[in-house]
């Protein structure tokens, strides 16, 4: 079956670096979204793509288990790198891999990057989100419409590299002429509604124009995360084979929209450590604290009264704070509002780092929801902290 492909990655409007990676060499398509903070997310996603690129020749499209083997090998490689290098400890990545053989698409999937199929004008998500919210939806505890905007929809329950072993979802799909497929990181799906994705895919445009349009829509909606999209049209007139394309850690404000300009494999490059964006209402207050000592008291009062975050206290317990986690000019801009029974070392490493940095929220109620989600994550049997392991297993880092 002939395929036409469009691809684009973008740092978004908030992040300082791009932790997404992708690989496109028809009929193989991959999207990986790294996590772990600082450079770790870049390393994890780039490692996954590198392993897939090296092992893709061993994949047999008629045997989907060979796809699972490739992702499990990527998982082992990322996990070992994290054990060997403390600076990237706890890193992980989502990964959605698709290979098209004649009229069959085989997919291997871990995490919350997504694959969609549009057929006869109807759009369907064909992968499952491995997130806490996704599990709540599957268990009937949360409505899908509520999940779309849930403040903790990005809490991952399965990713490559987090544990020494990983379960891989395998999906087989018979394609028809006219089908349109989309692989994307959650920087797209978390920013725009499903109806907007469907509208863009249905447009009378080539796949590269569709990829560009999707990224622009996500940026227009706020661009809170890195955005990567791979658009595949099935059953089109052959326009030449798609070039081999890999991109990791794009540093520019916009990625190139020309996939042919980015051929070959590129390792992740160093980027500045990612900083969290705190509410704009604090910017003026913090500037005044630094510039005008006389305004420090009022700025501190304002920060404490209008901002919330979830962090960890001196006893190692997850707590709700009023204010912000940073100290400005020696001033403490936080006060502990409520303390939970959740210990920071009961959380998986990738989420532990985020809590230690401080998770900003817009209200006390959202902070309480975040704390509830973290409590469920801590109790999830899929994640066991090193402290919970038998002494003989202490070498395994989760």
pLDDT tens, residue by residue, 119-155: 999 999 999 999 887 777 666 666 666 666 665 666 7
Of 174 and 292, the one with more pLDDT: 174
Residue 369 and residue 235 share a domain = no
Q: Cα(294)–Cα(348) distance, rounded to whole angstroms?
A: 43
Residue 216 and residue 120 share a domain = yes
Q: Which of 23-37, 89-103, 246-260, 330-344 is predicted least confidently?
A: 246-260
Residue 155 and residue 64 share a domain = yes
Would 257 be classed as within a structural domain?
Answer: no
Of 347 and 220, the one with more pLDDT: 220
Of 322 and 384, the one with more pLDDT: 322
E-strand stretches of the chain: 3-10, 20-25, 28-35, 92-93, 95-101, 104-110, 114-119, 122-125, 169-174, 180-184, 227-234, 245-248, 308-312, 317-328, 331-343, 359-361
Joined tokens for residue 294: 């006389």
Residue 113 and residue 180 share a domain = yes
pLDDT at 73: 98
Would 70 be classed as within a structural domain?
Answer: yes
Is residue 95 within 8 A of residue 109, CB to CB? The reply is: yes
- Residue whose structure tokens are 């863009």: 200
Per the structure, the count of domains in the chain is 2
pLDDT at 207 over 70: yes
Give the CATH number for residue 158. Answer: 3.60.40.10
Q: Which of 163-172, 194-203, 321-330 is predicted least confidently?
A: 321-330
Would 185 be classed as within a structural domain?
Answer: yes
CA angle 108, 47, 242 (to 5 degrees): 65
Tell me which residue range forms the domain holding 341.
280-386
Residue 171 and residue 56 share a domain = yes
Indicate the pTM of the whole model.
Answer: 0.66
Would 393 be classed as within a structural domain?
Answer: no
Residue 304 and residue 364 share a domain = yes
Rounded mean pLDDT, 34-54: 89
Would 109 be classed as within a structural domain?
Answer: yes
229-267 pLDDT tens trace: 999 999 876 444 444 455 443 322 223 333 333 333 333
176-191 pLDDT tens trace: 999 999 999 999 999 9
Q: Which of 231, 251, 271 is the last residue of a domain?
A: 251
pLDDT at 348: 83
Residue 39 pLDDT grade (very low, low, confident, very high; cuts 50, 70, 90): low
Contacts of 7 (CB under 8 A, 6+ apart): 22, 24, 208, 211, 229, 230, 231, 245, 259
Would 236 be classed as within a structural domain?
Answer: yes
pLDDT at 328 over 70: no
- Computed over every residue of the chain, the mean pLDDT equals 79
- Residue whose structure tokens are 């989309």: 182
Residue 236 and residue 135 share a domain = yes
pLDDT at 302 over 80: no
Helix axes 40-55, 65-84, angle to 10 degrees: 140
Residue 97 and residue 17 share a domain = yes
pLDDT at 289: 43
SS3 79: helix
Omega cis (within 30) before 228 = no
Rounded mean pLDDT, 52-79: 95
Residue 324 and residue 211 share a domain = no
Residue 230 and residue 174 share a domain = yes
Residue 236 and residue 131 share a domain = yes
Residue 54 pLDDT grade (very low, low, confident, very high; cuts 50, 70, 90): very high
Would 44 be classed as within a structural domain?
Answer: yes
Q: Which of 66-70, 114-118, 260-264, 360-364 is predicted least confidently?
A: 260-264
Q: Which of 48-62, 202-216, 236-250, 350-364 is predicted least confidently?
A: 236-250
Residue 215 and residue 163 share a domain = yes
Of 90, 79, 76, 96, nearest in space to 38 by CA: 90
């Amino acid at each position: 079956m002939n395929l036409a492909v469009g691809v684009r990655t973008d740092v978004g409007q908030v992040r300082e670096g791009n932790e997404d990676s992708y690989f496109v060499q028809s009929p193989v398509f991959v999207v990986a979204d790294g996590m772990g903070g600082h450079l770790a997310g870049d390393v994890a996603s780039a490692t996954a793509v590198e392993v897939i690129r090296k092992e893709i020749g061993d994949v047999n499209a008629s045997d989907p288990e060979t796809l699972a083997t490739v992702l499990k090998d990527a998982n082992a490689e990322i996990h070992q790198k994290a054990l060997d290098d403390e600076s990237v400890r706890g890193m992980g990545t989502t990964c959605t891999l698709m290979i098209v053989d004649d009229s069959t698409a085989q997919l291997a999937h871990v995490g919350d990057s997504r694959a969609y199929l549009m057929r006869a004008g109807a759009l369907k998500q064909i992968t499952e989100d491995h997130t806490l919210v996704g599990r709540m939806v599957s268990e009937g505890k949360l409505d899908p419409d509520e999940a779309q905007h849930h403040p903790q929809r990005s809490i991952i329950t399965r990713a490559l590299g987090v544990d020494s072993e990983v379960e891989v979802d395998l999906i087989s799909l018979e394609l028809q002429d006219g089908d349109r497929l989309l692989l994307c990181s959650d920087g797209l799906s978390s920013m725009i509604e499903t109806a907007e994705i469907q509208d863009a895919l249905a447009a009378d445009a080539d796949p590269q124009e569709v990829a560009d349009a999707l990224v622009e829509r996500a940026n227009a909606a706020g661009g809170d995360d890195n955005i990567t999209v791979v658009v595949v049209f099935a059953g089109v007139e052959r326009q030449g084979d798609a070039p081999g394309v890999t991109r990791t850690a794009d540093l520019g404000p916009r990625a190139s929209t020309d996939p042919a300009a980015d051929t070959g494999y590129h390792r992740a490059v160093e980027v500045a450590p990612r900083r969290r964006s705190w509410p704009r209402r604090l910017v003026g207050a913090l500037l005044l604290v630094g510039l005008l000592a006389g305004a420090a008291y009022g700025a501190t009062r304002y920060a404490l009264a209008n901002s919330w975050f979830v962090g960890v206290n001196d006893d190692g317990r997850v707590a709700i704070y009023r204010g912000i986690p940073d100290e400005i000019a020696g001033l403490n801009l936080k006060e502990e509002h409520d303390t939970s029974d959740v210990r920071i070392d009961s959380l998986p490493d990738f989420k532990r780092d985020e809590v230690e940095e401080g998770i900003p929220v817009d209200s006390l109620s959202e902070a309480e929801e975040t704390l509830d989600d973290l409590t469920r994550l801590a109790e999830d049997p899929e994640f066991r902290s090193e402290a919970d392991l038998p002494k003989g297993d202490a070498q395994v880092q989760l």
